[in-house]
Amino acid sequence: MKPQEIKQNPREYLSFTLGDEEYGIDILAVQEIRGYDAVTRVPDAPEYIKGLVNLRGTIAPVVDLRIRFKLGNAEYDHLTVMIVLNIGGRIVGIVVDSVCDVVPLLPEQIAPAPEFGASFDSSYLQGLANVNDRMLILMDIDKLLHSAELALYAPAESQDLPQMMAAA
Amino acid sequence: MAIDLARFHQAFFEEGFERVDAMEQGLLQLEGGANNAETVNDIFRAAHSIKGGAATFGFTAVAEFTHHVETLLDSIRNGSRGVDDALVSLLLRSSDQVRALLTAARDGGQADAELSARLQHELQQALHPDSSDADSAIPVPDEVSHAVAGSQAAPGEAGWRIRFAPHADLFASGNDPLRIFGALAELGRLDVVARHPGDLPGFSSLDPVQCLTAWDLVLHGSSSLDSVREMFAWVEDECDLQIEPLRAATVAEPSAKVVPIHAPAAAASAAPASAATAPANAAKSRAHADSSIRVSTDKIDGLINLVGELVITQASLTQYTQGLDPLVHERLLAAVQQLEHTARLLQESVMSTRMLPIDSVFSRFPRMVHDLAARLDKQVKLQTIGEGTELDKSVIERIGDPLTHLVRNCIDHGIESPQDRSAAGKPAHGTLTLTAAHQGGQIVIEVIDDGRGLSRSRIIAKARSNGLAISDNASDAEVFNLIFAPGFSTASEVTDVSGRGVGMDVVRRNIEQLGGEVELKSVEGSGTTVRIRLPLTLAIIDGMFIDVGGETFVVPLNGVIESLQPLPEQIKRVAGQGMVLKVRDEYMPMISAHDLYRVPGAAKPPHQAIAVVLEAEGCKLALLVDELIGQQQAVIKSLEAHYRRVFGVAGATILGDGRVALIVDVTEVVRNCGRALAA
Amino acid sequence: MSNRILAVDDSTSMRQMVTFTLSSAGFDVTEAEDGVVALSLARKQKFDLVLADVNMPNMDGLTLVRELRGLSEYKFTPLLMLTTESTPEKKLEGKAAGATGWMVKPFVPEQLISTIKRVIG
């Protein structure tokens, strides 16, 4: 195998829509895609954290990106889709309007993200790609979910043993 | 192929620390001059193993220091040196240093080298009391010189002539001349000529497993004498061997002339002596040869999670099949029942893999008691009962500190000086007893001393000086309960052991956080007993399931006193501060779970709701909920694994229908909501 | 079929090191944490070589070697001792028990492989 062939391996992105915009995230972060149901509300959580779900024994939070980024209507029905992500061992579900496609992209197809008026801070963007004349916004999902702004995790990232009652 | 030894470091340190603990425990058993051969042997083996591992994995400082400890232990083991308390004390301090060196090696830090040197000196003095340091220097371990010897010896320029005549029984040691020749051939070109003795037995009496052949070998090349001898090292005693330079004249090295090695009958005489002791050893210790494997707790927790899932699925199956006609679905229902049974057994046995004997906590006390008693000039005998009692690892990990505190208190304040004890007609040495036992799904741990006991009058006086109201007629239990109040101490002198404000309140808080309770009994003049009750595990709780505005919450049952439907006249509103509930003659703050957990929708009026009376840290609080659903066991799961901590929530569990329910953190709720109102 | 080795040591880290080293050199390694376990394993299946620590609880290496040598299947099997004691007496004791040879601790993985290969390579 020649070196340039290795370099040119495309990365795959999962694309989904929030309102009218189309976003992409690294497919390696995606654990599964499932319907949205039976979320348990948690007290003192911002509106976009819908609550907790049981994913085969793991209790994970669900974030509705539509609410967070004020895109589209946050309606929930049997068509509502949740993408379950595993980012560094942390499991989280994100609610989106629909999942579109898996898009392979070569690095040169990705343009750097401009400081543009997207619905969120451009530091969570990896870049933009043009796919079949549609603009795909590539999201740095890892950075976004761990951002202090989203307040999904405790600032200190303390990790207790799962079986322990949390100490007061 | 290079193998990175670092991958074994974790295992080395884990067992290194275990072995130091074992050394320490063994040494404490030797105290008082009891020279038990088996114990000495165990201690020796622990030191030996640390040294071997440390040397292998390149922790030189650990290996060197432990070598000195081992040498001294060896001299005790072979009887050339007796044991006294001074020696035990030295060895205890040395084992502390081994631990410090291990810690430094693990964390990449520095241990106190000066202390190492000082202890090393003491160890050598103990080994050779009459000698000065100089001649007791420990020889460089043989293996080091061994490894370099080959390159130091002058090479035989043209090679070696080797006469190799194995004894007839060579094969019986598992050695094979052909392998040796193969290895030699790697050093250079090898010519092999076999010689047969003239007196070969006749064919009928020939024993095929006897080696009757001798060989003349010529090894060409520049390999050193040592490297050649090395090849024969294992068979030195089972052969006649001569190695001489191919052209003797050209080799200057005198030692390279002839190396005759002949085995006397030493082998035969050594065998019976050691054989006699061995079977006894083996039989004796087979009793505790329980075979075990090391499994990471992650794997076990994974198993527990899966079993938890299984139990939940089974519960929902049971729920779905409940309405079915037992006549039509007899076999299905029987199978579901069987599943329930098996799932429960499976859950119990998986949970049991996390169970550890409480000995892992108790074992830290002999040393602590020893040191403390010595420091305070007291005599204390420690006895432990039921150290095999098992409880969950999560509880074990968190019971150590409160127990340590209690034990310190006992020695510091409970047990009197030998003079005072004698004057009171008690034996000069006090006795501290630690017991553990299972009792109705809980573990009960007791810390018992035969010391001076609690003084009722002193506690009452102290309480009053602290501004606490207490009647002279209060029961002993009420009086002793004051000990657990924050900042309460009756010790007339502050010692450096327990410090000021002995902190029994902390002990109680720790234990209550584990879902346990603590009580105290004492008779002035004859001693104190502190009894702790704990759940066996923190992974599963008995929960009361409640409904708040359609949402399900779980309250750990051990935090619930009672639940009642309050009458309007029991409820009082304090202007601007919320509600108070009067239960019998007691007032307690009351809050609505709707408000606490910000449940959407309107709450029922209090007198139509249910008040669940919670208790923690001696305070009560009524929590208003819409309905009680029932009692059930709940597997606790952490929220923080994938989310953050939430106020008033201790964790979550999964309901029969797969939904998540939050578990109420009783301690946190009572402490914060109750106090806010009371203030 | 690769040669089967029984590695006997009460130290988990040493056992891991020996097993990892020999396995990566292509040997089929079984572990035992003391002489008693080793002996019962050896009775169940034949190993081509046994590598045993000297100092172990329950049954030490010397006893193990003596017991193994007494079994007809192990009469000529290479039995190696792992020892930190390189004194002549210890080696003699090992030989007297029936050991084929010894390996002196500490050793590096490469030494272990070359020694074992010399015996059953």
pLDDT tens readout for residues B537-580:
777 788 899 999 999 999 998 889 999 999 988 998 887 778 89
Q: Is B576 exposed, middle or buried (0-12, 13-18, 19+ CB in 10 A)?
A: exposed
Give the three-class secondary structure for C45.
coil
What total of structural domains would you count in chain A?
1
The reply to whether C99 touches chain B by the CB within 8 Å rule is yes
Give the model's pLDDT for residue B450: 92
pLDDT grade, residue B11 (50/70/90)?
A: confident
- Give the minimum alpha-carbon distance from C100 to chain B in angstroms, rounded to a whole number: 5
Does the pLDDT value for residue B497 go beyond 50?
no
Give the model's pLDDT for residue B446: 94
Say if residue C106 is preceded by a cis peptide, omega within 30 of 0.
yes
Cβ count near B286 (within 10 Å): 13
Note down the domain range covering C21: 4-120
Does the pLDDT value for residue B132 go beyond 60?
no
Give the model's pLDDT for residue B260: 38
Cβ under 8 Å to B: C residues 44-73: 55-60, 62-63, 66, 69
The reply to whether C27 touches chain B by the CB within 8 Å rule is no
Question: Does B639 sit within 8 Å of A168, measured CB to CB?
Answer: no
Any idea what DSSP says for residue B169? T
Tell me, yes or no, whether A167 lies in a domain.
Answer: no
Nearest to C13 among B11, B171, B286 (CB): B11
**Mean pLDDT of the region B174-186:** 84
- Nearest-angstrom CA–CA distance, B225 and B247: 13
Does the pLDDT value for residue A1 go beyond 70?
no
Note whether B46 and B77 are within 8 A (CB): no
**Least confident among B75-89, B183-197, B479-493:** B479-493
**Mean pLDDT of the region B589-597:** 92
C26: left (phi over 0), alpha (psi -120 to 50) or beta: left
Residue B317 tokens, joined: 């199956």
Cβ under 8 Å to A: B residues 513-572: 513-515, 537-539, 551
Among chain B residues, the shortest Cα distance to C90 is held by B270
In words, the CATH class of domain B146-197+209-265 is: alpha beta
Give the model's pLDDT for residue A121: 64
Suggest the residue from C3, C5, C11 to mutate for an interface test with chain B (most B CBs closer than 10 A). C11
Q: How far is CA B548 from the centre of its chain?
A: 43
pLDDT grade, residue A117 (50/70/90)?
A: low
- Which residues make Cβ contacts (< 8 Å) with residue B598, sequence separation at least 6? A43, A44
Q: Which residues of A touch B (CB under 8 A)?
A: 38, 40-45, 51-54, 56-61, 90-92, 151-154, 158-168
A to C contact (≥3 Cβ pairs closer than 8 Å)? no
Give the model's pLDDT for residue A44: 87
| % chain B with pLDDT above 70 | 84
Chains near C, with 3+ CB pairs < 8 A? B
Nearest to A52 among B309, B599, B652 (CB): B652
- Nearest-angstrom CA–CA distance, B440 and B659: 31
Question: Does B671 sit within 8 Å of A165, measured CB to CB?
Answer: no
pLDDT grade, residue B263 (50/70/90)?
A: very low
Question: Does B57 sit within 8 Å of C13, measured CB to CB?
Answer: yes
Distances (CA, A) of C93 to B272, C50, C66, C70: 11, 17, 11, 16
Q: Which helix (H) or strand (E) holds B245?
A: strand B239-245
The reply to whether B650 touches chain A by the CB within 8 Å rule is yes
Question: Does B285 sit within 8 Å of C76, measured CB to CB?
Answer: no
Give the model's pLDDT for residue B422: 92
- Give the minimum alpha-carbon distance from B404 to chain A in angstroms, rounded to a whole number: 19
A79 or A106: whose pLDDT is higher?
A106
Give the model's pLDDT for residue B100: 92
Question: Does C34 sit within 8 Å of B289, measured CB to CB?
Answer: yes
Question: Does B238 sit within 8 Å of C10, measured CB to CB?
Answer: no
The reply to whether C30 touches chain B by the CB within 8 Å rule is no
Fold topology of B5-138: Four Helix Bundle (Hemerythrin (Met), subunit A) (1.20.120)
Note whether B156 and B257 are within 8 A (CB): no
Tell me, yes or no, whether A164 lies in a domain.
Answer: no
| % chain B with pLDDT above 90 | 18
B45 interaction partners in chain C (CB closer than 8 Å): 10, 55-57
The reply to whether B96 touches chain A by the CB within 8 Å rule is no
pLDDT grade, residue A37 (50/70/90)?
A: confident
Cβ under 8 Å to C: B residues 163-182: 171-175, 179, 182
Note whether B552 and B655 are within 8 A (CB): yes
The structure tokens 């795959």 sit at A12
- In this structure, the strands spanning B619-625 and B610-616 are antiparallel
- Give the minimum alpha-carbon distance from B333 to chain A in angstroms, rounded to a whole number: 25
From the list B616, B638, B401, the residue with the least C-alpha distance to B515 is B616
A to B contact (≥3 Cβ pairs closer than 8 Å)? yes
Residue B44 tokens, joined: 């020796």
The structure tokens 């669900």 sit at A62
- Give the minimum alpha-carbon distance from B300 to chain A in angstroms, rounded to a whole number: 11
Give the largest Cα separation in chain B, rounded: 119
The CATH architecture of the domain made up of B357-535 is: 2-Layer Sandwich (3.30)
Does the pLDDT value for residue B431 go beyond 90?
yes
Question: Does B275 sit within 8 Å of C119, measured CB to CB?
Answer: no
Fold topology of B540-678: OB fold (Dihydrolipoamide Acetyltransferase, E2P) (2.40.50)
**Mean pLDDT of the region B173-179:** 84
B274-288 pLDDT, tens digit per residue, is 434 444 444 444 444
Which DSSP string do the residues of B68-124 spell out, in sequence order?
A: HHHHHHHHHHTTSS---HHHHHHHHHHHHHHHHHHHHHHHT----HHHHHHHHHHHH
**Mean pLDDT of the region B618-639:** 87
Suggest the residue from B3, B7, B71 to mutate for an interface test with chain C (most C CBs closer than 10 A). B3
B286 interaction partners in chain C (CB closer than 8 Å): 36, 58
- Nearest-angstrom CA–CA distance, B603 and B246: 105
Give the model's pLDDT for residue A160: 35
Among chain A residues, the shortest Cα distance to B597 is held by A43
Which DSSP string do the residues of A117-150 spell out, in sequence order?
A: --SS-GGGEEEEEEETTEEEEEE-HHHHHT-TTT
The structure tokens 């020939």 sit at B206
C34-68 pLDDT, tens digit per residue, is 999 999 999 988 999 999 998 888 888 999 999 99
Nearest to C106 among B143, B281, B289 (CB): B143
Whole-prediction pTM: 0.48
**Gyration radius of chain C over CA positions:** 13
What total of structural domains would you count in chain C?
1
Give the model's pLDDT for residue B178: 83
Average pLDDT, chain B: 80
Which amino acid, one-letter code, is at B120?
A: Q
The structure tokens 């884990």 sit at B14
Residue B651 tokens, joined: 């964790």
Nearest to A91 among B642, B658, B671 (CB): B642
Q: Find the CATH number of the domain harbouring A109.
A: 2.40.50.180
Give the model's pLDDT for residue B561: 92
Chains near B, with 3+ CB pairs < 8 A? A, C
- Nearest-angstrom CA–CA distance, B189 and B493: 85
Note whether B568 and B582 are within 8 A (CB): no
B356-368 pLDDT, tens digit per residue, is 889 889 988 988 8
Chains near A, with 3+ CB pairs < 8 A? B
The reply to whether C41 touches chain B by the CB within 8 Å rule is no
Any idea what DSSP says for residue B141? P
- Give the minimum alpha-carbon distance from B660 to chain A in angstroms, rounded to a whole number: 6
Among chain B residues, the shortest Cα distance to A164 is held by B538
Pick the most confident of B466-475, B490-499, C112-121. Answer: C112-121
Give the model's pLDDT for residue B199: 67
The reply to whether B4 touches chain C by the CB within 8 Å rule is no
B44 interaction partners in chain C (CB closer than 8 Å): 55
Question: Does C36 sit within 8 Å of B289, measured CB to CB?
Answer: yes
Question: Does B646 sit within 8 Å of A40, measured CB to CB?
Answer: no
B192 or B254: whose pLDDT is higher?
B192
Residue B163 tokens, joined: 């006469």
Q: Find the CATH number of the domain harbouring C49.
A: 3.40.50.2300
C86 interaction partners in chain B (CB closer than 8 Å): 141-143, 146
The reply to whether B611 touches chain A by the CB within 8 Å rule is no
In this structure, chain C runs to a length of 121
Does the pLDDT value for residue B342 go beyond 50?
yes
Nearest to B665 among A38, A90, A168 (CB): A168
